[in-house]
């Protein structure tokens, strides 16, 4: 065994172990690289010819890996295949919006000058909701991810800073970096006392804020 491979391989093994454990809880996962991006590149990246009519984007119908969050699975055999195709993976992403949990990630960042925690508390006061006890993941940069669940019939879109400055929402088609992942900036870990919790249902009035506003009806109907 080449000793130069030791650390990356160890990181990949750990990432796989964490990913399998998340999958056991019903969370669909994909391998992530150190940059938090899907570890497997698209098999269609060279096929983006500008000429000709563009067909519908492939979400994995071709049978190959490399479709980002569409590769996500809870099947241990498939997860092992994904990780062996990406031995450079150091983390894993958890797909949001999928059954059974229909996960919604509330991403409170610390990058800007704004206090995203205070912004969420202000929203909670104004719209009369409380964040229930739920899984919280601490990010290497000091941010927090609150894990909530949505009703199956609702599609929560991704958004960045729409709810309030510093608050991003991970919904359908998005993913959360799973606890135990390592990136170039450090490790993601569950906040003390929250690892054993199940993701709590998103409060109704918060859910309403996350959904696109219905379009105003045009004058004259239709």
Q: Closer to Zn ion by CB, 66 or 91: give it.
A: 66
Please report how close the Cβ of residue 43 comes to Zn ion at its closest, in angstroms.
6
Q: Closer to Zn ion by CB, 45 or 218: give it.
A: 45
Q: Closer to Zn ion by CB, 64 or 162: give it.
A: 64
- Residues binding Zn ion: number (CB under 5 A): 2
The answer for 193, left when phi > 0, alpha when psi is -120 to 50, beta otherwise, is left
Of residues 134 through 173, those in contact with Zn ion by CB under 5 A are none
Q: Which of 17, 37, 62, 211 binds Zn ion (CB under 5 A)?
A: 62
How far apart are the two ends of the chain, measured CA to CA in Å? Answer: 69
Burial class (CB in 10 A: 0-12, 13-18, 19+), 92: buried
Taking residues 41 to 60 in sequence order and writing x for each that binds Zn ion by CB under 5 A, - otherwise, the string is -----------------x--
Q: Closer to Zn ion by CB, 85 or 197: give it.
A: 85
Cβ-based neighbours of 191, under 8 Å, separated by 6 or more: 136, 137, 138, 144
Q: Closer to Zn ion by CB, 62 or 118: give it.
A: 62
Please report how close the Cβ of residue 86 comes to Zn ion at its closest, in angstroms.
16
As a whole number of angstroms, the distance between CA 38 and CA 93 comes to: 8
Please report how close the Cβ of residue 66 comes to Zn ion at its closest, in angstroms.
7
Q: Determine, following the binding rule CB under 5 A, whether residue 85 of this chain makes contact with Zn ion.
A: no
Going from the C-alpha of 68 to that of each of 17, 73, 132, 138, 198, the distances in angstroms are 20, 11, 30, 23, 25
Q: Closer to Zn ion by CB, 36 or 64: give it.
A: 64
Taking residues 8 to 47 in sequence order and writing x for each that binds Zn ion by CB under 5 A, - otherwise, the string is ----------------------------------------
Q: Among the residues of 25-177, which ranges form H helices? A: 76-85, 116-127
Taking residues 180 to 219 in sequence order and writing x for each that binds Zn ion by CB under 5 A, - otherwise, the string is ----------------------------------------
Please report how close the Cβ of residue 184 comes to Zn ion at its closest, in angstroms.
28
Q: Closer to Zn ion by CB, 67 or 101: give it.
A: 67
As a whole number of angstroms, the distance between CA 180 and CA 18 comes to: 6
Handedness of CA 149, 150, 152, 155 (dihedral sign): negative
User: Which run of H or E residues covers position 210?
Assistant: helix 204-210
Interface ranges with Zn ion (CB under 5 A): 58, 62
């Amino acid at each position: 065994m080449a000793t130069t491979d030791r650390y990356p391989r160890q990181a990949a093994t750990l990432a796989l172990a964490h990913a399998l454990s998340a999958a056991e809880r019903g969370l669909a996962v994909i391998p992530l690289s150190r940059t938090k991006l899907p570890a497997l590149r698209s098999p269609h990246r060279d096929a983006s010819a500008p000429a000709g009519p563009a067909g519908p984007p492939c979400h994995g119908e071709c049978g190959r890996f490399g479709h980002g969050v569409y590769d996500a699975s809870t099947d241990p055999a498939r997860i092992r295949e994904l990780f062996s195709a990406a031995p450079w993976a150091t983390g894993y992403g958890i797909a949001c919006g999928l059954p059974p949990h229909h996960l919604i990630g509330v991403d409170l960042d610390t990058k800007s000058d704004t206090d995203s925690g205070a912004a969420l508390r202000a929203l909670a006061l104004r719209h009369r909701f409380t964040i229930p006890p739920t899984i919280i993941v601490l990010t290497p940069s000091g941010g927090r991810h609150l894990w909530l669940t949505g009703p199956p019939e609702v599609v929560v879109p991704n958004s960045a800073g729409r709810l309030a400055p510093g608050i991003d929402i991970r919904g359908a088609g998005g993913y959360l970096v799973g606890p135990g992942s390592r990136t170039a900036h450090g490790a993601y870990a569950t906040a003390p006392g929250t690892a054993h919790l199940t993701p709590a249902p998103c409060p109704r009035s918060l859910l309403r804020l996350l959904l696109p506003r219905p379009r105003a009806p045009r004058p004259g109907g239709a």
